[in-house]
Structure 1
């Protein structure tokens, strides 16, 4: 498994292109915008895009999904269906946050806790991690020990919970009960900012470190 992080949108969202090194089949996680940058990365890496994966329905993560899916003839997979209201409201989000108008869509497949997604020979485990949004999911490649966590967890921080249907206690539970048990050596790509490991966050993150209970 190999990957390339592509910062997109004015929010510097970490869109991730990752691929199976054996088959060169690839997926894009959270194409929020700047479609030309994403398309250029696909071409530069010489991979074949086979699917789009969404962690949640906020515009900086999902805004370019429909256009990319149409141009590359691939399906949009995820998030969990509780985020439908966010996806249905993408046009309103674009106005609220000053984005260009985006093309609406309905995912081709919703995901649930315990599902798996294949990208070439890579198996991704799907973990439903609500709190930032109710339908947020995380993708974990257990073999490579890499997780795509969207806006659940960041280096030294956690996701916002002041948006509609966000919940702080639920987010903390998702992190401590669903992510940290996966192992301290799991490296994660967050939706914004630098990568880290679950172990480092258990030790130092002021919101979820073990010493804070």
Structure 2
């Protein structure tokens, strides 16, 4: 039997080994995004991503089949974090307020860790338009919605298997967040992502009334 710190702790939280694997996965994904945004899709190889993350190509292959999968992994990781944050919000807080704060904290962190300059936005637009990435984004989004639905079910006391509600909420949050990201990346965008997310969630919480 593996020691507790290598897999899961007795409290059910990820152990040291699992945390390190997750950290490596995240580092590789962020390196792939950073390089593709700054240098263009065709200029980035698996070897270059591995070097940027300070690991071997073999280590990269242990986690991802290619750079498209590595890039898409960041979306799944971010939604994992949104789900975790949702479950940590105050119990009496309205669900849509909790969802907004969880999404805002991961999509538009206040620490400035998400670049907002036009060069970065243009690079992200070009990267997301890459056909090779489309299929991986679809798969990552499906997995992300399932993870968020699980958190919504726990938060609301609904049944993940029988009730449509947690899955509907997760799908709406994913779609709304996607709309906010797309609008904030437009060349003519005047509002930062956080402001667009606030508008999106305000309308979702109100039931999308007709303007």
TM-score (norm 1): 0.29
Q: Could you say which structure has the larger radius of gyration? A: 2
Higher strand fraction (1 or 2): 1
Higher helix fraction (1 or 2): 2
